[in-house]
Structure 1
Amino acid sequence: MFDKLMQVQQQAEEIKKRLDSISVKGEAEGGKIVVTSNGNKHISAIHIDEEFYKSSDREELEELIAVAVNKAIIQAENVHQVEMQALSTNMLGGLGNLFNG
């Protein structure tokens, strides 16, 4: 039983590493603001088109950055859920074998 739990913990660590390497993006204003995140919801970059930056006001820019960040986080959450669902499926399958082996 302990071996199965250690195996699940190892799989969780592997998923965390994989999520660190997955890149997702959230965009606003037709790609003029792009926020990049990894699958663990860590924001790694924010890009603002220079011409858009020069022509927009502060309030508009702040609102659109928030929109892009939220979209990136939603994308990261979707990837995260898929990975965790795979782990749960593996874990439940493994726990079912605990009682048989």
Structure 2
Amino acid sequence: MAKKGFPGGMGNMNNMMKQVQKMQADMQKMQGELEEKEIEATSGGGAVKVIANGKKNIVSIKINPEVVDEDDVEMLEDLVLAAVNEALRSAEAMVSDEMSKITGGMNLPKGLF
């Protein structure tokens, strides 16, 4: 008759729980470190520079004064929007890369962290 329960017995279950607890601790540590990491993105050949952190917050926006034209505010708005979106995409990629180091490539659902 086959044994019911967890394959490998309780020892295997305990090892799995230890691994999960270590992964959780590593993720918490990494999330704190990500807040300190920054990603820079530019648009318009460097006319607009946006810096975002690993928490996906915009830290700063720098605009080259030479591109400020009061008659073409719309272009400046487009440059800022492009740089912000690129910074956020880069921050998301950085977070995903860092998480995959901890999770070992497990396909965990997006938004879990």
* TM superposition score normalised by structure 1: 0.78
Structure-1 separation of matches of 2:105 and 2:45: 39
**Aligned partner of 1:25 among 40, 44, 52:** 40
- Larger relative helix fraction: 1
Which runs of 5 or more residues in structure 1 are unaligned? 92-101
Which runs of 5 or more residues in structure 2 are unaligned? 1-15, 107-113
* Count of aligned residue pairs for this structure pair: 92
| Bigger RCO of structures 1 and 2 (CA < 8 A, at least 6 apart) | 1
Aligned to 1:79: 94
CA RMSD of aligned residues (A): 2.1
Please say if residues 23 and 103 of structure 2, whose CA atoms lie closer than 8 Å, have aligned partners that are also in contact: no
How big is each residue's C-alpha offset from its partner over 1:32-89, in whole Å with a ceiling of 9 and x where there is no partner? 1000001221110000011212466221111111100111111111111110111111
Structure-2 separation of matches of 1:49 and 1:83: 32
Aligned to 1:98: none
**Aligned partner of 1:57 among 48, 72, 82:** 72
| Greater Rg by CA | 2
* TM superposition score normalised by structure 2: 0.71
Structure-2 separation of matches of 1:39 and 1:60: 28
